[in-house]
Amino acid sequence: MRHRFNPDLGPGRVLAVEGRRVVVEFPERGETLHLAANSDALERLVLAPGSRARLESSGELVTIAGSDDDGRYRLEDGRRVSLDELWPVPEPTSPIDRLARGTIDHPEDVANRLDALRLKSLRQADGLGSFLGGRIELFPHQLYAAEQACRTDPVRWLLADEVGLGKTVEACLIMNRLIHTGRAERVLVVAPETLVVQWLGELWRKYHQVFVLLDDQRLKDVARDYGSEMSPFDVHRRVIVALELLVERPRLAEQAVAAGIDLLVVDEAHHLRRPPGHPGEPAYRAVAPIAALGRHVLLLTATPLEDDAHGFFRLLQLLRPDALPEDVSFDQRLASREPLPPCVSATRRADVGGLPPRRGRAVEIDDAAGWGALAELVEHLRRQPARNAAQRRRKAQRVARALASPAAVLPLLTAREKEARRLAAAADEADPRPRWLAEQAAGWMAAGEKALVFVAWRETLDRLKSHLERAGRTRVGIFHEDLSPERRDLEVAQFRLADGPAVLISTECGGEGRNFTFCDRLVLYDLPWHPAVVEQRIGRLDRIGRSKPTEILYFRPPAGLGRTVALLYERIGLFEQPLGGLERELRRVARAVEEQAVAGGGEVPISAFDGVLEAAREAHDRVRQAAYHELYREPYRPQMASRILARVPAELEQLTQRVVTRAAARLGLGIEPLRGIATYLTELGSNALVDHLPGVASGARFLGTFDRAEAVADETLDFFATGHPLVEGLLAELEDGDRGRVGLWQIAADEETFGLLALYLEGERLEAVAVDRSGPRPDLAERLLQPGCRHERVDARRWTEQRGWAKAIRRLAEALPEERRPQLVVAFRLRRA
The domain spanning residue 72 has which CATH number? 2.30.30
* Mean per-residue pLDDT, 294-315: 84
Looking at the fold, whether 88 and 189 belong to one and the same domain comes out as no
Q: Domain range holding 547?
A: 358-625
User: Does residue 303 lie within any of the structural domains?
Assistant: yes
In a domain, 755, yes or no: no
- 333: CATH: 3.40.50.10810
* pLDDT value at 620 more than 70: yes
- Does residue 832 belong to any structural domain of this protein? no
Q: For residues 506 and 452, is the Cβ–Cβ distance under 8 A?
A: yes
Quick check: is 44 in a domain?
Answer: yes
Is residue 512 predicted with pLDDT exceeding 60?
no
Same domain, 77 and 174: no
pLDDT of residue 94: 87
Q: How does pLDDT run across 90-108, given as a tens digit for each residue? A: 765 789 999 998 989 999 9
Q: Give the C-alpha separation, 740 to 737, whole Å.
A: 9
What pLDDT, on a 0 to 100 scale, did the predictor assign at position 697? 81
Instruction: Quick: pLDDT tens for 779-832.
Output: 999 899 887 788 898 899 999 989 899 999 999 999 999 888 899 999 999 998
Which DSSP string corresponds to 477-535? EEE-TTS-HHHHHHHHHHHHSTTS-SEEEE-GGGGSS---TT-SEEEESS--SSHHHHH
Structural domains in the chain (count): 3
Whether 537 and 446 share a structural domain? yes
Worst-scoring range by mean pLDDT, 255-259, 575-579, 622-626, 710-714?
622-626
Boundary (domain end) residue, out of 625, 648, 675: 625
The model carries a pTM of 0.78
Distance CA 369, CA 381 (A): 19
Q: Are residues 79 and 178 in the same domain?
A: no
Q: Is residue 729 part of a domain?
A: no
Residues 82 and 183 in one domain: no
Tell whether the model's pLDDT for residue 686 goes beyond 80: no
Does a structural domain hold residue 553?
yes
In a domain, 764, yes or no: no
In angstroms, rounded to a whole number, what is the distance separating the alpha carbons of residues 537 and 533?
A: 6
- The full DSSP string for 42-92 is EE---PPTT-EEEETTT--EEEEEEE-TTS-EEETTS-EE-GGGEEEPPPP
Last residue of a domain, one of 571, 592, 625: 625
Alpha carbon of residue 812 to chain centroid: 47
Query: Is the predicted pLDDT of residue 167 greater than 80, yes or no?
Result: yes
Residue 663: name the closest of 739, 748, 720, 557 by CA: 739
432 in the same domain as 332: no
Where among 318, 347, 376 does a domain terminate? Answer: 347
pLDDT digits (tens, 9 = 90+) for 741-793: 999 999 998 999 999 999 998 877 889 999 999 999 999 998 998 877 888 98
What pLDDT is attached to residue 653? 94
Q: Do 399 and 465 sit in the same domain of this protein?
A: yes
Residue 307, pLDDT score: 63
The confidence score (pLDDT) of residue 16 equals 87
CATH, residue 452: 3.40.50.300
Would you call 173 helix, strand, or coil by DSSP? helix
**Residues 368 and 450 placed together within one structural domain of the fold:** yes
State yes or no: pLDDT of 523 exceeds 60: yes
Write out pLDDT tens, residues 311-359: 888 899 999 998 888 878 878 887 788 888 899 998 988 889 888 999 9
- Closest to 537 in 3D by CA, of 524, 550, 554: 524
Average pLDDT over residues 241-266: 95
Same domain, 389 and 493: yes
Q: Is residue 538 part of a domain?
A: yes
